[in-house]
Structure 1
């Protein structure tokens, strides 16, 4: 599939993205002199996980486009706070970038009374991938569809144990959102990582889990867990027979994990453009596209750095309204 086909298939403000040879043309002198040394992408999660793997694939593609090494530096912490703070304090020269996720730019500002960084101190380059959140269940749970899950949950006044991958994460918000939307009781069970959460889900120690599409589909096919529904716009990467929440009568239940690159605010615009164009070249590789799709990632490119910024603002407003309705708040750091 060509990169233009990928762009045409993307949603929510990314439809019809066009970039052509003109975007890959000449640059001002400053841009022509960049880069002259390795670039570092700061990843807010531990090595070996899906976000880390995604970042390394993009880094390899951009390295080929730019002709310099791109190093992935993992700085995991709750909510990506450490990684975001580090990048906002980095030199504004384009050599230190943030692998940005929705938690950092769209939900943390509404969850925390105080943050060690300001989103305004990060400038967008482009989104490059999206995957939908899914709701997985224990194989022992007597429900296979959204309707069956709701019906079963209403017979359990003590509530269902709902696993999340950490307090304040989007998985935590989604679990609280579903409980409110379905008018059911749940007990939120935070985990430090996906592995232990999946182990407890497969053994029946917890009933449900907000999960990323890649691990969810792998475990579903292995019979370790089962997917109730996808929170994506469509059935992208879903096993046969698994519907979206929208198809199940809940069109508002849309939640995706978005991935992009950001730089410290103040980074020269010509440098931002060089990085954007390198992302475009990387995403134009059929090999990278195939790798991403095999991991359950939907490749896409923002129409421009400004378009990515607009999308971030829209998502920030959307998640902010949801968090306020749920009365969620994380204690000051």
Structure 2
């Protein structure tokens, strides 16, 4: 075979390989990395580990959870934004990565346009909880304590721009109170700080708060939605708790790097929906106050993101949330 023919054969092979990728043929052919922007034990990590096995079975390859905490999940988002657009690096993210962090820091090395939204996967309220040693037993008592000594109460979160951070910021805005924000590198660390008494208040995710509240290590005052949530039985909604002007709900979704071929996106979408529909996955998440909620299609999820982002961006600005 002469040199010219070798070049032609190589070019044809490369073209065939690119065509196969564009069609999604042979994908996936190796293990898949599922990046989570928070430390093990937090809500995002629990969601990832609850569905990773089922997702791997649906795709036919192992799905390996990779925790990359820090900067309110921005480190994980940057990793995935810069990863090859081949379907082998996925991101579980919340509004923090997609809307809040870019609003807080326009110099971030990534933007929402660097991702393809595959589907929403879960939704849940936050849970307002306090250390029992504070003696605070209700939302009105918390408001009174915060007004009596502005800035004295410390509230923990899983990082700047995280849903717990924004939940507390909205609470302060609605109630006219002032509390001091103490960010951590993950939800489990934030919860541990409240249990230890280093901080006194948190708007934690259901999976992080509920086991500790049931064991008496935290006192849950209300869920962050206006009405009670069937996901969190026995805990009043904000209206019942005395704060009808407050409402906040958050979600997690699946994302891929921008430029991922449409057939690969379709395969990831279908596998994710299949995984989230497994009874064991639903039961595991329900025990922690999280509901499976998948989008009708990637396009529907992208439309949801566009509208939802407006809410979070407005909250960041109106509550004057800053990077600390």
Q: Select which of 219, 229, 232 maps to 1:235.
A: 229
Question: Is 1:35 matched with 2:28?
Answer: yes
Cα drift, residue 111 of structure 1: 0.6
Question: Is 1:294 matched with 2:287?
Answer: yes
Q: Select which of 130, 133, 151 maps to 1:137.
A: 130
1:240-279 matched pairs, under 5 angstroms: 240=234, 242-279=235-272
Question: Is 1:209 matched with 2:202?
Answer: yes
2: distance between equivalents of 1:195 and 1:299?
21
Q: 1:203 to 1:294 in 2, by over 3 A?
A: same
Q: Select which of 49, 55, 69 maps to 2:48.
A: 55
Per the alignment, residue 189 of structure 1 pairs with 182
Q: 1:68 to 1:188 in 2, by over 3 A?
A: closer
Per the alignment, residue 102 of structure 2 pairs with 109
2: distance between equivalents of 1:306 and 1:130?
18
Which structure is higher in helix share? 2
Give the conservation status (yes or no) of the 8 Å contact 2:54–2:275.
Answer: yes
Give the conservation status (yes or no) of the 8 Å contact 2:150–2:179.
Answer: no
1: distance between equivalents of 2:305 and 2:24?
26
Cα drift, residue 117 of structure 1: 0.7
TM-score by length of 1: 0.83
Give the conservation status (yes or no) of the 8 Å contact 1:159–1:184.
Answer: no
Q: 1:196 to 1:57 in 2, by over 3 A?
A: closer
> Gaps (5+ residues) in structure 2?
1-20
CA RMSD of aligned residues (A): 2.3
Give the conservation status (yes or no) of the 8 Å contact 1:107–1:319.
Answer: yes
Out of 183-192 and 247-256, give the one that drifted further.
247-256
Per the alignment, residue 151 of structure 1 pairs with 144
- SS of corresponding position for 1:327: coil
Q: Which has the larger radius of gyration?
A: 2
Give the conservation status (yes or no) of the 8 Å contact 1:126–1:260.
Answer: yes
2: distance between equivalents of 1:198 and 1:35?
37
Cα drift, residue 173 of structure 1: 2.3
1:140-179 matched pairs, under 5 angstroms: 140-157=133-150, 159-179=152-172
Q: 1:116 to 1:216 in 2, by over 3 A?
A: same
Give the conservation status (yes or no) of the 8 Å contact 1:139–1:204.
Answer: no
Aligned residues, how many?
303
Give the conservation status (yes or no) of the 8 Å contact 2:87–2:260.
Answer: yes
- SS of corresponding position for 1:154: helix
Q: 1:314 to 1:214 in 2, by over 3 A?
A: same
1: distance between equivalents of 2:190 and 2:67?
22
2: distance between equivalents of 1:328 and 1:53?
27
| 1:182-234 residue CA offsets vs partner (Å, 9 max, x unmatched) | 01222223334445544443354433112111221111111111011101364
Q: 1:48 to 1:193 in 2, by over 3 A?
A: closer
2: distance between equivalents of 1:152 and 1:285?
44
- SS of corresponding position for 1:184: coil
Q: 1:35 to 1:192 in 2, by over 3 A?
A: closer
TM-score by length of 2: 0.85
